[in-house]
Amino acid sequence: MAVVASAPAKVILFGEHFVVYGEPAIVLAIDKRAYAKAETRNDKLLHVHSTNLNLAVTIENGSFRVDQGDLKEAKMKFEPVRQAAEKVLEKYGENVGLSIEISSTIPVAAGLGSSAAVVASVTAAVGTLLNVEMSKEDIFKITYEAEKYVHGTPSGVDPAIATFGGTLLFQMDTGFKPLEAEIEIPLVVGETGVERSTRVQVEKVRDIRERFPQIVDPIMHAAREISLRAIDAFKENDLETLGSLMNVNHALLYGVGVSDESLEWLVNAARKAGALGAKLTGAGGGGCMIALVRNERLEQVLEAIQRAGGRPFMARKTDEGVRVEQG
């Protein structure tokens, strides 16, 4: 028997970076998903294969043997998968061999939460395969623990959105709250293709805040007001306001030094082509930007981002978090 499960990617609509200092952020699950297929094996080995990454490993008692691709890369990418599978096996109470096949429509290392989506789908697929009772809360916890390997001290946004889907308001001290909103959020995501490290970008903000606290603290405060105002705009179905708030949010992120030339090209191109608003999303310094675009302007914005050197795709909000596709 094989079980397939999937989980969604995410974009941060408002509040990235400032969320690290306690301000609220708004995160949205989008309709790009990672898929994991799990099957039992007759031996006690764990085999993991990713079709997109062209990587395959066999893991025996925690030690990796590479079957396809580079060992170091495979360890980095698959260690969270191993940890999640182990956690589910612990709950199952017996060590069985597993084959896990991963395929994904989510761009990798672009700030869209690909690794959390992969781990959440693996956790759900293995759990269902072995008939282990698991709530979404359990899947979230396992995914969060495994993600610590990738990010050190992640805020938990990626595992939460991959597990629960929808729109979440996140704040360090209060955690996650679903933002019930009927609103359609027509987004275009533009990939710059520039790789960046979340850790380095977070350090940049810490440095500038330490150097100029009197200047950066009011920026943080403004970011808070943006997220709070955005919550009202969501409820009022007010796309115009959301677009304007995205533009202001981008200006603040630029101000603390986390935009870069590749992002500026795409953000400006999207605005010129008629987007209601555009901003970087996630850590910045490359990675992705998002534009809020009415349907009648979609083609123009997609084309403008492409001409400015980006890889654009349309994204829609998805309410569905992790789910089993077939059992």
Q: What residue ranges bind ligand PMV (CB under 6 A)?
A: 16-17, 19-20, 111, 113, 154-155, 157, 198, 202, 282-283, 287
Do 148 and 87 meet the contact criterion of CB atoms below 8 Å apart?
no
Q: Which is nearer to ligand PMV, 19 or 53 (CB)?
A: 19
Q: Which is nearer to ligand PMV, 279 or 297 (CB)?
A: 279
Residues whose CB is less than 8 angstroms from the CB of residue 218 and which lie 6 or more positions away in sequence, other chains included: none
Q: Rounded to the nearest whole angstrom, what is the least distance from the CB of residue 317 to ligand PMV in the complex?
A: 17
Radius of gyration of the chain (CA): 20
Helix, strand, coil % over all residues of the chain, rounded to 5: 45, 25, 30
Q: Rounded to the nearest whole angstrom, what is the least distance from the CB of residue 172 to ligand PMV in the complex?
A: 9
**Inter-CA distances, 57 with 68, 71, 150, 185, Å:** 7, 8, 18, 39
Residues whose CB is less than 8 angstroms from the CB of residue 223 and which lie 6 or more positions away in sequence, other chains included: 14, 15, 18, 23, 249, 252
Residue 96 burial (CB count, 10 A): 16
Instruction: Kindly write down the DSSP assignment for every residue of 215-249, as one continuous string.
Output: HHHHHHHHHHHHHHHHHHHHHTT-HHHHHHHHHHH
Q: Which is nearer to ligand PMV, 153 or 295 (CB)?
A: 153
Q: CA-based angle 19:20:24, to the nearest 5?
A: 15
Q: Rounded to the nearest whole angstrom, what is the least distance from the CB of residue 78 to ligand PMV in the complex?
A: 19
Q: 């380095």: which residue's tokens? A: 200
Q: Which is nearer to ligand PMV, 49 or 279 (CB)?
A: 279
Do 1 and 202 meet the contact criterion of CB atoms below 8 Å apart?
no
CA–CA separation, 78 and 314 (whole Å) = 28
Could you tell me the two tokens for 217? 């603290």
* Residue in the shown chain whose Cβ atom is closest to ligand PMV: 282
Q: Rounded to the nearest whole angstrom, what is the least distance from the CB of residue 206 to ligand PMV in the complex?
A: 11
Q: What is the largest CA-CA distance in the chain?
A: 63
Do 142 and 123 meet the contact criterion of CB atoms below 8 Å apart?
yes
CA–CA separation, 294 and 272 (whole Å) = 14
Q: Rounded to the nearest whole angstrom, what is the least distance from the CB of residue 282 to ligand PMV in the complex?
A: 3
Q: Rounded to the nearest whole angstrom, what is the least distance from the CB of residue 176 to ligand PMV in the complex?
A: 13
Q: Which is nearer to ligand PMV, 88 or 117 (CB)?
A: 117
Q: Rounded to the nearest whole angstrom, what is the least distance from the CB of residue 225 to ligand PMV in the complex?
A: 17
Q: Which is nearer to ligand PMV, 9 or 302 (CB)?
A: 9
Q: Which residues are catalytic?
A: 158
SS3 of 169, please?
strand
Q: Which is nearer to ligand PMV, 17 or 82 (CB)?
A: 17
SS3 of 124, please?
helix
